[in-house]
Chain A
Amino acid sequence: MNQQRIKRILVACGTAIATSTLVAVLIKEEMAKRGIQVETRQCKATEVPSYSQDVDLIVSTTPVPTNLGKPVIQTLAFLTGVGKEDVLNQIEKILKEV
């Protein structure tokens, strides 16, 4: 387990305006609390295939391709609160395994 390495998350939303920024900030905060250092990059959902090569995980609030060879989490939990704890646990688990 290589927990020292900074993990990279690609955060996508419809237009890469506000939603992905909010999601990125919240993931960074929550993972820091769990002792995981995270670096995020944001893009539009349509740009995911071209930005996904060097990331550990893709988190999106709109549908994105799931066949890119990277784990993908599609969730609105950071906006609605619904299932947020589960999503955070899932993100933590994935980042600890990569």
Chain B
Amino acid sequence: MTRSITRRQLLASSAGVSSLALLSGCPPPAVKPTPKPSAPPKPALQTGLDPYFEKQLGITPELIRKVLSAALEHGGDFADVYFQHASRMTIGLEDNIVNKASTGVDLGVGIRVVVGDQTGYAFTEEVDEASMIAAAKTAAGIASASAKTAPVSLTPKGHPRHYDIDYNWFDVGVDRVIPMVAAINDKTHKTDPRIQRVTVDFLSSQSRVLVADSEGRVSSDNRPMTRLFLSVVMSDKGQLQSNGYNLAARQGIEFYTPERLDRLVRRAVNRTSVLFEAKRPPGGELPVVLAAGSSGILLHEAIGHGMEADFNRKKTSIFSDRIGKQVAQRFVSIIDDGTNAGLRGSLNVDDEGRGTERTYLVKDGILRSYLHDRISATHYKVAPTGSGRRQSFRHAPMPRMRNTYMLNGPHKKDEIIASVKKGIYCVSFTNGQVNIGAGDYSFYVKNGTMIEDGKLTAPIKDINIIGNGPQSLERVTMVADDFEMDEGGWTCGKNGQSVPVSLGLPTILVSAITVGGKA
């Protein structure tokens, strides 16, 4: 049972600090490329006004109009309502028994009133007319003009879909998940006699949302999500080591193919057993080669957060005033994308009801675009980039990343490793963090290897890497052609709100970053 979160915990990600955490352990070296970022699925239109909300919850267009009118009763430039009905299930295995499960249901509506860049926000978990009107009046408190509301005419918007909105995880019972979880446990135990403990944690969730605003836009989405985490503890000559691997996607149970589950087991075990030989590297400034895949954590921390337009509007990002400037070599292009098929950070519509897109943060070395929500897009007089996201109906949206990755470059992986005299090769990560204004970021390396005289040598573990965002981008001196999207699940925290994201990267070389280690 949990108690309510304290303000202090919320602030762990405040003060211009944003953090990224793996759902707990760590992800991949190089096997086979998962979804190609440049090949979005064939678009299909989806409905703008999901009848579910009217049928199940009595949310009629008439009721939405009434709530929007109440929200604008003191003036205000804009108002929106965000309905959400979400459910979640987890199943856990420990000590060879599927011995815990949980379910959760969340239902409510958030109402926002915007005046310039000021926001009034209120939510209610009771979706009856009286409660919603009361919440709308609370949110309206931000505005102080007299009523000037013309009735809103609602126009449902269609959007291309990047995942299956007709899927429903709640048609998939515990009885279908338990055998899969049990089989992963058996298989893991059979892989290596040194395995002492295995835990498997499965999650599925389904979130239906409907967003309507005072400009008449109505959009809805139905978002599946799943993740699977495998952790192992191994013992060798009296020594213990633990590690894991995880999978996550905005997909249904078909995501868990036999090949993927084999890889889950293999990597969890390999990444643990290698720790028996692993050492801490010497600390200090070293060349760092980042393996293809989850090393995209570099982009998330070193540039992604700094490109969220709210920080720039407030002039508190190190990337403020740098649009149009060269920030990296010509072969560096970095994208934040909501349109990749079935990825954890993908969205058909963002949480302001806008279609998502593929946004170049850096194209051919030039800083191109911030990530915008409605408030920042209005401020900068540009179109929103479909980046307005929120944790739930209890939160106002803000600009956030979706799937952040770098495109392939002109080099080869082997050539990159061969170019390093003494450095480290980083493979898996657990968490990262950034100070937006100073630009200093860090991430934690769980698995890696020393590079000595151009060759991969001894395994290393548990070191933090810390650098400066713009400086590290300038120091990306080689980019390989082996792009990989991470298949694991990342959760990004900012101002107390968590949202799912994905990461990807080809193998790259950063010529110098400060590596933790033995002094």
Asked if A and B are interacting partners, one says no
